[in-house]
Chain A
Amino acid sequence: MTDSKYFTTTKKGEIFELKAELNSDKKEKKKEAVKKVIASMTVGKDVSALFPDVVNCMQTDNLELKKLVYLYLMNYAKSQPDMAIMAVNTFVKDCEDPNPLIRALAVRTMGCIRVDKITEYLCEPLRKCLKDEDPYVRKTAAVCVAKLHDINAQLVEDQGFLDTLKDLISDSNPMVVANAVAALSEIAESHPNSNLLDLNPQTINKLLTALNECTEWGQIFILDCLANYTPRDDRESQSICERVTPRLSHANSAVVLSAVKVLMKFMEMLPKDLDYYGTLLKKLAPPLVTLLSAEPELQYVALRNINLIVQKRPEILKHEMKVFFVKYNDPIYVKLEKLDIMIRLASQANIAQVLAELKEYATEVDVDFVRKAVRAIGRCAIKVEQSAERCVSTLLDLIQTKVNYVVQEAIVVIKDIFRKYPNKYESVIATLCENLDSLDEPEARAAMIWIVGEYAERIDNADELLESFLEGFHDESTQVQLQLLTAIVKLFLKKPTETQELVQQVLSLATQDSDNPDLRDRGYIYWRLLSTDPVAAKEVVLAEKPLISEETDLIEPTLLEELICHIGTLASVYHKPPSAFVEGSRGVQHKRLPARAGSGESAESPDVGQSGPAEAPPAVIPSQGDLLGDLLNLDLAPPTATIPSVQPSMQMGAMDLLGGGLDSLMGDESDTLGGDIGGSPSMGAGLGAAPAAMPAALGSAPAVGGGLGDLFDLGGGVGMPTGAYVAPKTVWLPAMKAKGLEISGTFARRGGIIQMDLSLTNKAMSVMTDFAIQFNRNSFGLAPAGPLQVLTPLSPNQTIDVSLPLSTSGPVMKMEPLNNLQVAVKNNIDVFYFSCQYPLSLLFVEDGKMERQVFLATWKDIPNDNEAQFQIKDIHLNSDAASNKLQGSNIFTIAKRTVEGQDMLYQSVKLTNAIWVLAEMRIQTGNPNYTLSIKCRAPEVSQFVYQCYELVLKN
């Protein structure tokens, strides 16, 4: 008898019958009934109506029955929360059972029941189980904390389960350690800034010890956790690598790949001349090769990751070309990946072999694969110059086969070869022209047309060829139409006499009969050029083209670095940044490879590596789509175009109209409209014509403070101010988010002028120009007081430092947090958004010293409810030094009183928007902790003023 009997039904109504059986007195019948219920569940039938009857069977001594009921509960508790409460008592009782198996089972199941009411009852049993004498129970309980955290994070924190969990990292049993690590990593992922998994050399050591003894799955958790650690120096790095290397011989491929991730990351820190570095490189190759003999699904994931590894460190697999040769019975997804890697590994040394293989593949059955193989031949030609000739002749052989799609692919790649090696292989054009008629794909047609246009002077019947395309002009795709337009203009410029009619024809087709704006625009441009200045037209259209680069599909270096840190994850399979896989920016922390010790090789600026944990990562505004609406508000004029004092008031008005109008139009639901507006070139063009030069209007902004005289009023008895503290630059806009533009910066107040100090770094591979900046409305009306002065183009890997003066007369809107500033930066590539927070001390004006009498009166006048008290810890300054330091940041000491060994400083601060802040600071001799009381009519600023105190005093 088999379980299939549980599927048979009778006419009477299954549920009804099951109900009766569940309530039977006979144990055996009950169990059989529960089994039938479970069987129905497995095929997706809804048996939730039986909830009370099944739960009734829960109190039993029969373990199998208990397990089955638990299985049922997990599936349906959520839909029957009130009923689920009935089960709680049994759970609590089971958590005390002498049999550890039952204790663990109970705590495990309770965690899976996602019902708030039950969660509360779970806490006590869970606490006991976390300290259970049996490791099996402890390990199950550790996972349960993560489950509970998912349901109610606050509860877990309040109950102190996180600390208990952290203690479990030091448990004597490796399986408990592994599960604790897994649970903590899971929790930490939803709290990116919490220091849950505090990795230090001691915990790392514990993890490495547990690594050797826990199960394969536990090893994966631990290795993934290790990968987040940054060793202090190369020695620690090496010792971790040494202890991780044995994992490369594990039978579980996920363990192997996680180990590869750790090694790839930590290797970055090892000096290259170290013997161990070479040894490690050699050790990495065999396990990667072994992954390729596993099941095809595993191979696929491995290949996607090898693709990254090969780009980062080609030396590891350079001798292993042959393992990537395609077998005819590989699944197609494996074939395509192998091909990709073959091209990456192609070099002068192995090119002959590679070409022979590719030629073989080009005769295979699978069309996609054949196409890619043909394309690969072209890429080889471009990559390895010595092989170009052989590649071209191979391609010609393939064209001779006359297989339609092979010919088309071949022509597309030959076009690229022409561009890479001009004036070398043009002799083959004749052969290509023979196949003109068989081309039916847009890309191939466009490529062929390009070739004809480019070499029109060498093709006798070029005009005839192009004319033949012209007949069905309107049926062609845009790609072909554009190419045809350009090619005929080229032809005309080369052979003006015979082709005048042709060019007239194409121009009128493009401009008058087409409704594609791109095509029309290009047509008009050519028309205008040709009719006004044919010489200029020649210079423009027949200009020398830049050579195409060798590898066109390399992953951008910053993304590659990040992906290397994520080897083995979905991100590495899709070659997309990990932030694309989680919602919003919450929890996304960009991982970087660590810098190599003592060598200047690292591309990172020192700020990045050392930005301490105290600084929260800048809150990057996550997705671009939502923000597209604001693109329209950005000052689109390049900096050179802003000429000050040209009717500033009018332009301001225009700007506001535009901004406000669009605002009301789009409101906050810009996500529905945003995409359309951003994507439409005509709209963009229309707005581009109205460059609202707001910064220009503020050109003379700095004199905001007014009474500069007060600057010289250096309160009596207090020494010279030491100058305002300026925080080091932090990265506000990572290059990842901004197509290679990295922006780091800080704020400073110098001589009464607020400045935003920016470092712009170009981490992309092309030059950046046309920078402009704009702020969103903010709490204190900060706005650029001039254009962003980046006059020279920013070439790749170059960094430029700019100081942008700011005014405080911009539009005001309260932000959350108060000191949040949202910034948009534009360059020739795109518009990028980020947000940063400025210290409030930026806004403390120089004439912020209050009269003593006024101070006293104001202090009394402000209601006590507005008073806020703060502790400033660990300051080792005497009161004079402290007030001296504070004065540097425009926090003025008005009076000082000493009562019983306690210094009381009375201080005042004035903000740019004329808000006064009054403070009393108490300093006890010998006590490093100061007490600060702040009173202000706008109590929400107190918190930020306190932060400034702390910042100034601690630096």
Chain B
Amino acid sequence: MNRWKVSDCHIANGEYCLKTLIKTAVYSLFLINNAGDLFLEKHWKSVISRSVCDYFFEAREKAVEPDNVPPVIRTPHHYLINIYREKIFFVSVIQTEVPPLFVIEFLHRVAETFQDYFGECSETTIKDNVVIVYELLEEMLDNGFPLATESNILKELIRPPTILRTMVNTITGSSNVGETLPTGQLSTIPWRRAGVKYTNNEAYFDVVEEIDAILDKSGTTVFAEIQGVIDACVKLSGMPDLTLSFMNPRLLDDVSFHPCVRYKRWESERVISFIPPDGNFQLMSYHISAQNLVAIPVYVKQNISFFETGSSGRLDITVGPKQTMGKTVECLVVTVHMPKVVLSANLNATQGTYNYDPVTKILVWDIGKLNSQKLPNLKGSLSLQSGAPKPEENPSLNIDLKIQQLAISGLKVNRLDMYGEKYKPFKGVKYVTKAGKFQVRT
């Protein structure tokens, strides 16, 4: 006998090995709610026992917060890649070396499709539409290869439920499965179906910018950047070919496009040229990084302190306008994550309302519109657990706000031209700026 024969053992040196070499991406999908109930499973190859999810539950417990569950979990024979969306964990089981991003992107697409089909992606809607969910999953993935993930193609294969259709189906016995091959499926423009017709032809674009920023105690910007997206709602008949141009395209040096955009023309002429999908879609996203000057619309003066003795503290927050480009700041909300020992807050707001939740330790001050004549202020005392030591960590402030009719980066759409069709569409552009992850340190 050969003494050096390699045995069939699966575990060597504590390394976990995988069973086969087949590159099937997603073997199985489990949907698990926040309470830990597994309420849907789908297998694409052979049935994998749901006991594999025990490893997930273990990690879930360890993470305490659902957001902190690591996205890739290793088990002796599988990998579990999961995302957490709308209070549902989408747990996929994979068995071989596949790009994890591929799987994560796919799971996001699944969640988006549910949202798109059922209006919201929740346990109830999924359970209510379980057969459609199953048909959709089957249509989206074949042997681990994504098949149809474009919503308009899916909708031709499997019709989304509507109250009317459900009733008609029950009465007439017709089905919600398309009988013909979707037209867009194999053309070079898979995102658009043929023969679209509208009586009112319209195209709307929303430029939405979110400011991600960290300000330090003194109000200096530690870090700031803008995440922008252009959402489109295009309802145009036929095969329109659109060109969108900007007043100041030079602002955009880091962009991601919807597959319909012709990248070559963007590179050479800095215009966005595309045949649009039908309906709502995200045309592009962009990122204006920390190096460029990012305007900060508000400033926050704050003082939160805890006394060494007496189990109490003080809080004093004032918000004022900074660079608002002459627009009004609306929907202003300040959120403070208090240390665990803070029991209650006795405060006085000059504007808006405040609420302190002693369970989650979150203080929310809903200000509303920012009045630059009379700055909103929140002031008062905090009471702590008696006997507890002065908290070590500094609470951190989160700002939410909204500014209509302004893209804070200064991005402006110049014009939208349409080729290929004769009619005159109605066109519109809207701008809005919001706070993203806008944090003030104390």
Binding site for B on A (CB under 8 A): 1-4, 6-7, 27-28, 31, 35, 38-39, 42-44, 62-65, 67-68, 71, 74-75, 78, 99-101, 108, 111-112, 114, 134-136, 139-140, 143-144, 146-147, 150, 173-175, 179, 182, 185-186, 189-190, 213, 215-217, 220, 224, 246, 249-254, 256-258, 286-287, 289-290, 293, 295-298, 300-302, 319-320, 322-323, 325, 327-329, 331-333, 356-357, 360, 363-365, 401, 403, 568-571, 573-574, 576, 578, 580-584, 586-587, 621-627, 629-630, 663, 668-671, 776-777, 813, 815-816, 822, 833, 835
Interface residues of B in 116-142 (CB under 8 A from A): 127-135, 138, 142
Q: Is the CB of A224 within 8 A of B5?
A: no
Bound complex: CA of A39 vs CA of B135, how far in Å? Answer: 11
Could you say which residues of chain A place their CB within 8 Å of the CB of B150?
215
Q: Is the CB of A290 within 8 A of B254?
A: yes
Could you say which residues of chain A place their CB within 8 Å of the CB of B339?
365
Of all chain B residues, the one with the shortest Cβ separation from A662 is B3
Closest 5 CB pairs of A and B: A623-B12, A286-B254, A2-B128, A64-B175, A297-B71
The answer to whether the Cβ of B108 comes within 8 Å of any Cβ in the partner chain is yes
Interface residues of B in 377-396 (CB under 8 A from A): 392-394, 396
Q: Indicate which residue in A31, A108, A253, A364 contacts B142 across the interface (CB closer than 8 Å).
A: A108
Q: Is the CB of A101 within 8 A of B179?
A: yes
Q: Indicate which residue in A300, A578, A625 contacts B71 across the interface (CB closer than 8 Å).
A: A300
Most chain A beta carbons < 10 A, residue from B135, B177, B394: B177
Bound complex: CA of A687 vs CA of B108, how far in Å? Answer: 57
Q: Is the CB of B101 within 8 A of A257?
A: yes
Of all chain B residues, the one with the shortest Cβ separation from A365 is B393
Q: Is the CB of A63 within 8 A of B179?
A: yes
Q: Is the CB of A322 within 8 A of B6?
A: no
Q: Is the CB of A136 within 8 A of B185?
A: yes
Q: Is the CB of B21 within 8 A of A101?
A: no
Bound complex: CA of A108 vs CA of B139, how far in Å? Answer: 11
The answer to whether the Cβ of B193 comes within 8 Å of any Cβ in the partner chain is no
Q: Is the CB of A64 within 8 A of B177?
A: yes
Bound complex: CA of A621 vs CA of B3, how far in Å? Answer: 12
Q: Is the CB of A289 within 8 A of B289?
A: yes
The answer to whether the Cβ of B43 comes within 8 Å of any Cβ in the partner chain is yes
Q: Mind listing 27 A-B residue pairs with CB under 8 Å? A: A6-B131, A39-B130, A43-B39, A62-B175, A100-B181, A112-B143, A114-B46, A135-B186, A182-B23, A189-B23, A246-B264, A251-B285, A252-B105, A254-B101, A297-B83, A297-B84, A319-B291, A323-B223, A356-B222, A363-B394, A570-B72, A583-B19, A583-B21, A587-B21, A669-B7, A670-B7, A816-B2
Bound complex: CA of A185 vs CA of B96, how far in Å? Answer: 13
One digit per residue, 1 when the CB lies within 8 angstroms of any chain A CB and 0 when it does not, for chain B 41-53 equals 1111111001000
Q: Indicate which residue in B180, B258, B291 contacts A251 across the interface (CB closer than 8 Å).
A: B258
Bound complex: CA of A333 vs CA of B72, how far in Å? Answer: 10
Q: Is the CB of A331 within 8 A of B68?
A: yes
Of all chain A residues, the one with the shortest Cβ separation from B259 is A216
The answer to whether the Cβ of B280 comes within 8 Å of any Cβ in the partner chain is no
Bound complex: CA of A6 vs CA of B128, how far in Å? Answer: 9
Could you say which residues of chain A place their CB within 8 Å of the CB of B83?
295, 297
Interface residues of B in 185-205 (CB under 8 A from A): 185-186, 188, 190
Q: What is the CB-to-nearest-CB distance from B194 to chain A, in angstroms, rounded to a whole number?
A: 15
Q: Is the CB of B227 within 8 A of A293?
A: yes
The answer to whether the Cβ of B253 comes within 8 Å of any Cβ in the partner chain is yes
Interface residues of B in 7-29 (CB under 8 A from A): 7, 9-10, 12-13, 15-24
The answer to whether the Cβ of B313 comes within 8 Å of any Cβ in the partner chain is no
Q: Is the CB of A101 within 8 A of B145?
A: no
Q: Is the CB of A286 within 8 A of B253?
A: yes
Q: What is the CB-to-nearest-CB distance from A269 to chain B, in angstroms, rounded to a whole number?
A: 23
Q: Is the CB of A43 within 8 A of B40?
A: yes
Q: Indicate which residue in A251, A300, A319 contacts B257 across the interface (CB closer than 8 Å).
A: A251
The answer to whether the Cβ of B293 comes within 8 Å of any Cβ in the partner chain is no
Q: Is the CB of B105 within 8 A of A253?
A: yes
Given contacts A43-B39, A251-B285, A325-B222, contact A4 B128 (CB under 8 A): yes
Q: Indicate which residue in A2, A300, A569 contacts B129 across the interface (CB closer than 8 Å).
A: A2
Could you say which residues of chain B place their CB within 8 Å of the CB of A578?
97
Q: Is the CB of A777 within 8 A of B289?
A: no
Q: What is the CB-to-nearest-CB distance from A177 to chain B, in angstroms, rounded to a whole number?
A: 12
Q: Is the CB of B128 within 8 A of A251?
A: no
The answer to whether the Cβ of B104 comes within 8 Å of any Cβ in the partner chain is yes
How many residue pairs link A and B with beta carbons under 8 A? The number is: 320
Q: Is the CB of A44 within 8 A of B142?
A: no
The answer to whether the Cβ of B337 comes within 8 Å of any Cβ in the partner chain is yes
Q: Is the CB of A630 within 8 A of B177?
A: no
Q: What is the CB-to-nearest-CB distance from A476 to chain B, in angstroms, rounded to a whole number?
A: 27
Bound complex: CA of A143 vs CA of B45, how far in Å? Answer: 14
Given contacts A63-B177, A64-B175, A623-B13, contact A254 B99 (CB under 8 A): yes
Could you say which residues of chain A place their CB within 8 Å of the CB of B420?
none
Given contacts A578-B97, A624-B13, contact A301 B71 (CB under 8 A): yes
Bound complex: CA of A68 vs CA of B394, how far in Å? Answer: 57
Could you say which residues of chain B place their CB within 8 Å of the CB of A74?
44
Bound complex: CA of A310 vs CA of B3, how far in Å? Answer: 44
The answer to whether the Cβ of B225 comes within 8 Å of any Cβ in the partner chain is yes
Bound complex: CA of A250 vs CA of B7, how far in Å? Answer: 45
Of all chain B residues, the one with the shortest Cβ separation from A144 is B143
Could you say which residues of chain B place their CB within 8 Å of the CB of A220?
99, 102
The answer to whether the Cβ of B98 comes within 8 Å of any Cβ in the partner chain is yes
Q: Is the CB of B177 within 8 A of A67?
A: yes
The answer to whether the Cβ of B255 comes within 8 Å of any Cβ in the partner chain is yes
Q: Is the CB of A328 within 8 A of B439?
A: yes
The answer to whether the Cβ of B331 comes within 8 Å of any Cβ in the partner chain is no
Could you say which residues of chain A place their CB within 8 Å of the CB of B2?
813, 815-816
Q: Is the CB of A35 within 8 A of B145?
A: no
Q: Is the CB of B134 within 8 A of A293?
A: no
Could you say which residues of chain B place their CB within 8 Å of the CB of A332?
63, 68
Q: Is the CB of A78 within 8 A of B289?
A: no
Q: Is the CB of A401 within 8 A of B392?
A: yes
Q: What is the CB-to-nearest-CB distance from B408 to chain A, in angstroms, rounded to a whole number?
A: 16
Q: Is the CB of A298 within 8 A of B105?
A: yes
Could you say which residues of chain B place their CB within 8 Å of the CB of A38?
130-131, 134
Bound complex: CA of A217 vs CA of B143, how far in Å? Answer: 13
Could you say which residues of chain A place their CB within 8 Å of the CB of B7?
626, 668-671
The answer to whether the Cβ of B160 comes within 8 Å of any Cβ in the partner chain is no
Q: Is the CB of B258 within 8 A of A573?
A: no
Q: Is the CB of A582 within 8 A of B21?
A: yes
Bound complex: CA of A243 vs CA of B304, how far in Å? Answer: 55
Q: What is the CB-to-nearest-CB distance from B436 to chain A, in angstroms, rounded to a whole number?
A: 9
The answer to whether the Cβ of B176 comes within 8 Å of any Cβ in the partner chain is yes
Q: Is the CB of B128 within 8 A of A286?
A: no
Q: Is the CB of B393 within 8 A of A573?
A: no
Q: What is the CB-to-nearest-CB distance from A828 to chain B, in angstroms, rounded to a whole number?
A: 20
Could you say which residues of chain A place their CB within 8 Å of the CB of B9?
623, 625-626, 671
Q: What is the CB-to-nearest-CB distance from B83 to chain A, in angstroms, rounded to a whole number?
A: 5
Q: Indicate which residue in B105, B142, B143 contacts A254 across the interface (CB closer than 8 Å).
A: B105
Could you say which residues of chain A place their CB within 8 Å of the CB of B17?
580-584
Q: Indicate which residue in B3, B10, B337 contacts A583 across the interface (CB closer than 8 Å).
A: B10
Q: Indicate which residue in B99, B138, B282 contacts A67 across the interface (CB closer than 8 Å).
A: B138
Bound complex: CA of A65 vs CA of B138, how far in Å? Answer: 14
Bound complex: CA of A75 vs CA of B46, how far in Å? Answer: 7
Bound complex: CA of A574 vs CA of B100, how far in Å? Answer: 11
Bound complex: CA of A65 vs CA of B4, how far in Å? Answer: 56
Beyond contacts A112-B45, A150-B22, A623-B13: 6 other A-B pairs, Cβ-Cβ < 8 A, are A215-B149, A216-B259, A251-B257, A297-B84, A624-B12, A668-B1
Q: Is the CB of B257 within 8 A of A249?
A: yes
Could you say which residues of chain B place their CB within 8 Å of the CB of A65?
175
Bound complex: CA of A208 vs CA of B130, how far in Å? Answer: 40
Bound complex: CA of A296 vs CA of B70, how far in Å? Answer: 10
Q: What is the CB-to-nearest-CB distance from A549 to chain B, in angstroms, rounded to a whole number?
A: 26
Q: What is the CB-to-nearest-CB distance from A951 to chain B, in angstroms, rounded to a whole number?
A: 26
Could you say which residues of chain B place their CB within 8 Å of the CB of A320?
289
Interface residues of B in 240-293 (CB under 8 A from A): 253-259, 263-264, 266-267, 282, 284-285, 287, 289-291
Q: What is the CB-to-nearest-CB distance from A653 to chain B, in angstroms, rounded to a whole number?
A: 19
